[in-house]
Amino acid sequence: MSTDLEMRPATAPEFDAFYDSMSDTFFEGVFEVDVESERERFEPERSLTAWDAGSIVATGGIFSRQLTVPGGIVPMAGVTYITVAPTHRRQGLLTRMLLRQFTDLHDGGAEAVAGLWASEGGIYGRFGYGSAAPRALFTGSKPAFRPGTDLGTGRVRRVSKDALRPHAEAVYEVLRPRTVGHLDRSPAWWDRRLMDPEHWRDGATPNRYVVHEEADGSITGFAVFRVKADWSGAESNSQVIVMDLSGTTPQATARLWRFVLDLDLVSGFRRRLASPEEPVRYLVADPRTVKLEIVDSLWIRIVDLDRALAARRYQVELDVVLEVTDAHCAWNVGRWRLTGGRDGADVRRTSGHADLSLSTTELGAAYLGGTTLQALSAAGQVVEHTAGALRQASLAFGWDSAPWCPEVF
């Protein structure tokens, strides 16, 4: 039984065994460049391992990150490396690891929320995680731009990866505080972001890098792309794969998209890990030439309800009593009065009449403003007890734009 197995953090010297176990469970090859990148960001004191007969049979970890939320930035426990060896499935190891993480986070008091990317969509909801930020995959032909699109007076300039990095970092730091779902990036995370090993390319070219330069020489955007060549027919059917495209102005974003879509010898494009509000759909003359697929990205777990809800801001004024259930974090259970708006929020326990009933799973889904409480209510997951409370709370939990987490961790 899993309760008989030792569970403890890995030490730094045990990282190779930790990584081998994790990679084996994910059916991934082990490449030195990946190993060293992970080693650089590994936080051994925040990891977990389960051991059986001297071997690691389950892994888990946390990255210490900063998450942009509506109206602010909060510490987030970035949950990662979650695996259980095939030989030890269905023995409760996953539950032990996640519950230990919740308890450690609650006792430590540093992060009130945890977040993760789910390898399978059906795993983490039962542990109180809610799907909080959608991501988009855009594909299409080479569509014509909408007539009259304002491209500004800047230009697109090709640069090396080393030359791109300081500009990309600067652009990202402009966008991060105003884009819900964005995470901070240390130098090690930027190293990871700009890695381009051959085994990541799936047969495409190495990455190409461009910046958007204004007439005064300032840099207001950048793009990273590669091309998957296909000359199987009489003409090129190659695809440009947009790995990253960010602009601090609408004009910079538009000109970067125009550059990418105008490349010679390519017939279509793909944009991965994009915001559902990526403006490319609105920049082209025929929006049907751009296909959109929406899937989940960042899942949020409310670990300490009062601190988490007080840390974000609300789109409209709100005064609501929430009856909250939580199957795993008993300290969140009960009635909470949430008052707040754009200038701040206060959360405290109350014995007053409940206006809404829901669980921390729904609060996690709504935390970044990307999932509405009204939508969750339509699915039977939020119950309204006071007329009008659902509409007001749903508006309040929303925000100015959709959340977007462009970084898998």
CATH topology identical between 2-111 and 144-285: yes
Which CATH class name applies to 2-111?
alpha beta
pLDDT tens-place string over residues 264-276: 999 999 998 999 9
Question: Which pLDDT score is estimated for 2?
Answer: 65
Whole-number percent of the chain with pLDDT over 70: 99
23: left (phi over 0), alpha (psi -120 to 50) or beta: alpha
Least confident range of 27-36, 207-216, 228-237, 283-292: 228-237
Which of 325, 319, 313 minimizes the C-alpha distance to 392?
Answer: 319
**What are the residue boundaries of the structural domains of the chain, listed by start?**
2-111, 144-285, 303-397
pLDDT tens digits, 112-168: 999 999 999 999 999 999 999 999 999 999 889 999 999 999 999 999 999 999 999
Residue 294 reports pLDDT greater than 70: yes
The pLDDT, as a whole number, for residue 143 is: 87
Note the pLDDT of residue 235: 85
Q: CA 406, 408, 409 angle in degrees (round to 5)?
A: 135
Position 182 scores a pLDDT of: 99
**pLDDT exceeds 90 at position 232:** no
CATH of domain 303-397: 3.30.1050.10
Phi-psi region of 203 (alpha: psi -120 to 50; beta: other; left: phi over 0): left
- pLDDT at residue 173 tops 60: yes
- Is pLDDT at 293 greater than 80 in this prediction? yes
Residue 105, token pair as written in the block: 């986070």
Q: Is the pLDDT of residue 63 over 90?
A: yes
pLDDT at 27 over 90: yes
Give alpha helix (H) positions in 236-388.
Answer: 250-261, 280-283, 305-311, 360-366, 373-378
For residues 364 and 67, give the distance between their C-alpha atoms in angstroms, rounded to a whole number: 14
Q: Tell whether the model's pLDDT for residue 109 goes beyond 80.
A: yes
- What was the pLDDT predicted at 178? 96
Q: Considering 124, 172, 225, 314, which one is annotated as catalytic? A: 124
Give pLDDT, residue 236: 87
CB within 8 A of 21, min separation 6: which ones? 49, 55, 56, 57, 59, 83, 85
Which of 63, 209, 269, 409 does the annotation list as catalytic? Answer: 409
Q: Please report, as a single letter, which amino acid is at residue 182.
A: H
Catalytic residue flag (residue 124) = yes
Catalytic-residue membership of 19: no
CATH topology of domain 144-285: Aminopeptidase (3.40.630)
